[in-house]
DNA sequence: GACATAAGTGTCAGATAAACACTAACATAC
DNA sequence: GTATGTTAGTGTTTATCTGACACTTATGTC
């Protein structure tokens, strides 16, 4: 008796912070009006993580992102066309790191709190990814994955405030992140705007997300 | 161009607490000496959760357990025979709730800190499930899923201590769990041993795991 | 009724988290 | 070159939460 065989896809919720908003990258479906997450079929001899990265890279040009498996969706009726398993991931990209700053035609960065209708169960996927990201802010250094190579503490604080959707106290915030010792001063300053320059920081171990508490 | 098709299996790490130890249910492989997790192929029109429950039920007879998806393993070389995707779950069962108290031949409850060699990557699966369970103790009421219908606070504390592998302060423990208001007194007492009887408690919302903090 | 055993109960101290306001450095306009 | 606007940068105090700690109570057995 042969085992049942199923098509397996990977899909990625790619987050970025643009214009003080948390946004996700969506692709306009070949078929119609709806939007979908980037992704596609996993090959026969391809690891799932690799498949997710490959599709993301092919469609957006970005490499080396922080990528984490989210959940596997497999309801038989999730795609009315045919039964497909979707192994979903989420990834974070610093605002400046996209090869195509404004992605090519058919792609769009859309704010998470005002998404259009999404294909299949992709709205559930985005919601779950958002929950996970917000939860992970509390007990890990994942937010650093949104930062460019050099950044100011105010910029980092703005990232936290954007994801949490609430303002934070400046002094308490600085105390906390500096006590984690996961970022360090570059020695340079950022001279932008008509005001005192801000010290620049960099991540001590880029690409590594550490647990705190 | 047809999409690649893959066999998809589900596997479950079934935890229970027996004799003050955290144990997992293992099945002796058809093939040889190694042990494996209960599970099997997902059918063409079967939800993944349903598949996990079905295999678990068929192999152990237990129904209605708390079951949660853990991770999807898909490395092409994880099974040397042929490429298989494994969607893994973990489940919790109260010590007394097994149809077969000592499971049938070919099954065994084995303590998590002294497991034999497991098939494929099942040792990784168990390790990950254990981590998740221990983490979830801290921020949810998942431990209640190990309790029988009626139980004493000392029994509940023993469950926590077993999973965490460390003793807890009795007064602080009671303060915390009672303040959560997720359990309530039954009014009965347990009259066991040569000592003061213990009040019995029950879970307010059985089957529901709530987040705390 | 003495003894062994586990159940049940509060308080205090240290650590952590939250609230809060001013000075410093720069660019620009006058 | 001085006044002004703007964001960067910095400590202390208070409230809350967490962790340590010891004795009394109720039962069964001898």
| pLDDT tens digits for range A136-192 | 999 999 999 999 999 999 999 999 999 999 999 999 999 999 999 999 999 999 998
Q: Which residues of B touch A76 (CB under 8 A)?
A: 44-47
| DSSP, res B195 | S
Amino acid A178: pLDDT: 96
| Minimum-distance nucleotide, CA of B158 to C1' | C6
Tokens of A46: 């391809």
Angle formed by the axes of helices B153-164 and B170-180, nearest 10°? 110
The spacing between the Cα labelled CA in B213 and the C1' in D23, in angstroms, equals 32
Nucleotides on chain D within 7 angstroms of protein Cβ: 5-12, 18-22, 25-29
3-state DSSP call for residue B12? strand
Please say whether the beta carbons of B136 and B144 come within 8 A.
Answer: no
Query: Could you give the angle at the alpha carbon of A17 between the alpha carbons of A13 and A23, nearest 5°?
Result: 45
Distances (CA, A) of B49 to B11, B67, B93, B129, B205: 10, 8, 17, 16, 22
Instruction: Tell me the pLDDT of chain A averaged across its residues.
Output: 92
Q: Does the structure show a pLDDT above 60 at B102?
A: no
How many CB atoms within 10 Å of residue A54? 17
The spacing between the Cα labelled CA in A200 and the C1' in D3, in angstroms, equals 29
Chain B interface includes A6 (CB < 8 A): yes
pTM for the structure as a whole? 0.93
Q: Does the structure show a pLDDT above 60 at B100?
A: no
Q: Does the structure show a pLDDT above 70 at A50?
A: yes
Q: Does the structure show a pLDDT above 90 at B183?
A: yes
CA distance A12 to A194: 40
Within 13 Å and on the Cβ side, how many CA atoms surround A100?
15
Q: Which residues of A touch B8 (CB under 8 A)?
A: 4, 6, 8, 74, 85
């Amino acid at each position: 008796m042969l085992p049942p065989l199923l098509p397996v896809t990977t899909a990625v919720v790619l987050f970025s912070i643009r214009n003080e908003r948390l946004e996700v990258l969506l692709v306009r479906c070949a078929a119609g009006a709806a939007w979908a997450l980037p992704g596609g079929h996993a090959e026969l001899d391809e690891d799932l993580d690799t498949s997710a990265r490959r599709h993301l890279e092919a469609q957006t040009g970005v490499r080396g992102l922080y990528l984490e498996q989210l959940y596997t969706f497999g309801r038989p009726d999730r795609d009315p066309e045919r039964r497909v398993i979707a192994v979903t991931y989420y990834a974070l990209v610093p605002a400046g790191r996209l090869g195509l700053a404004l992605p090519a035609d058919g792609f769009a960065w859309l704010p998470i709190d005002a998404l259009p209708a999404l294909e299949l169960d992709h709205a559930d996927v985005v919601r779950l990814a958002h929950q996970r990201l917000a939860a992970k802010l509390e007990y890990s250094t994942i937010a650093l994955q949104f930062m460019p190579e050099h950044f100011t503490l105010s910029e980092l604080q703005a990232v936290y405030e954007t994801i949490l959707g609430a303002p934070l106290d400046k002094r308490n915030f600085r105390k906390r992140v500096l006590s984690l010792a996961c970022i360090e001063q570059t020695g340079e300053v950022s001279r932008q705007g008509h005001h005192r320059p801000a010290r620049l920081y960099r991540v001590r171990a880029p690409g590594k997300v550490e647990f705190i508490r």
